[in-house]
Structure 1
């Protein structure tokens, strides 16, 4: 048995998913997808339609889609052409299935007409990020994926993606490029965030929020 702990927007977290937050386990698609859903619906809902948080499953589809026509129709439905900021969780899996062994964050910034890539393992996901950026460029009018602002030596990659996205959203200005505050995403900070997200899931589950 793996009972459902929380249903939130389009995310469904089971007991096995929530247990990953206890550490030292790597986070899966479901946990990162929930975090992005929570950012859009609650934490950063003031950003409204200016920001899009693309789930890991959708990002993987964009990376691996083999039919340009199919991809074009799919991307049109996302309405990305009007977004100032697009956050994508990138994994290193090479097919459409969930999984992989490493996560990073790809951010599209419309005002700068470019992508930034935030990778906690010295750019090991660069090829995957560039592939996704190349797929999106015709629809966004963007330059290729470049390095992000600061890559501290943190290897809890899934939680790193969530924390970087949160920190960037806190710094967002509609006409300025967000900058990560120096020395913020430390191993201690990451560990604390794991506990914080676990408490949040428990609180939402107890409140019966859907």
Structure 2
């Protein structure tokens, strides 16, 4: 049995998903997707519709799609042209199924018409990120080709923390966008110790939300 621990927005976390945060484990689509949902619905709700977090499953579909019409059915409702920032978690898997071995973060900034790629393993996901950027280009609401930049990024010190780097870098960028209006990455802040602390913090958050969800369910008539 793999019981559901938390149902949050469009995310469903099972015990096996949450256990990945206890480490040393590679994070899956469900955990990163939940973090993005939490950022949008709670942590950075104040940013409203200026920002959008695209879940890992949809990002993988975008990368692997070969049908422009089918891609349009997914992307046109997202209204990317009206967003200031678009956040996507990039996976190195080459098929539309779950899997892969490395995560990185791709961020589109509308004002500068630029894709910024943050990769904790020195840009090894660059080709995957560029493929996603090229698929998004027709939906960005600009006639100019967007720039693609490999941004300075803190380096992971093991083979499993890439997903946590994606979550922590996204959080740091959004916090800067919330406070200063411009997302830039404070490199010195995201250290291996910080990543470990964040694993525990996200685990506690999920436990807290799960308990709150259970209490609400029990109180329903």
TM-score normalised by length of structure 2: 0.91
| Superposed displacement of residue 145, structure 1 | 2.3
Aligned partner of 1:172 among 169, 174, 177: 177
* Other-structure match for 2:149: 146
| Superposed displacement of residue 22, structure 1 | 0.2
Counterpart check, 1:193 vs 2:195? no
CA contact (8 A) 2:4 2:12 kept: yes
CA contact (8 A) 1:92 1:100 kept: yes
SS in 2 for 1:183: helix
* Other-structure match for 1:14: 14
CA contact (8 A) 1:109 1:177 kept: no
CA distance in structure 2 between the aligned counterparts of 1:118 and 1:166, rounded to whole angstroms: 13
CA contact (8 A) 1:168 1:180 kept: yes
Q: Deviations over 1:167-208 (max 9, x none)?
A: 000001699542111311100000000000000000000001
CA distance in structure 1 between the aligned counterparts of 2:173 and 2:114, rounded to whole angstroms: 15
Structure 2 alignment gaps of length 5 or more: none
* Other-structure match for 1:103: 103
CA distance in structure 2 between the aligned counterparts of 1:182 and 1:4, rounded to whole angstroms: 35
Aligned partner of 1:204 among 183, 186, 209: 209
SS in 2 for 1:90: strand
| Superposed displacement of residue 79, structure 1 | 1.6
TM-score normalised by length of structure 1: 0.95
* Other-structure match for 1:182: 187
* Other-structure match for 1:29: 29
CA distance in structure 2 between the aligned counterparts of 1:109 and 1:4, rounded to whole angstroms: 36
User: Over aligned residues, Cα RMSD in angstroms?
Assistant: 1.6
Structure 1 alignment gaps of length 5 or more: none
CA contact (8 A) 2:44 2:178 kept: no
SS in 2 for 1:172: helix
CA distance in structure 2 between the aligned counterparts of 1:117 and 1:177, rounded to whole angstroms: 16
CA distance 1:103–1:61, shift in 2 (3 Å):
same
| Superposed displacement of residue 73, structure 1 | 2.2
CA contact (8 A) 2:102 2:125 kept: yes
* Other-structure match for 1:59: 59
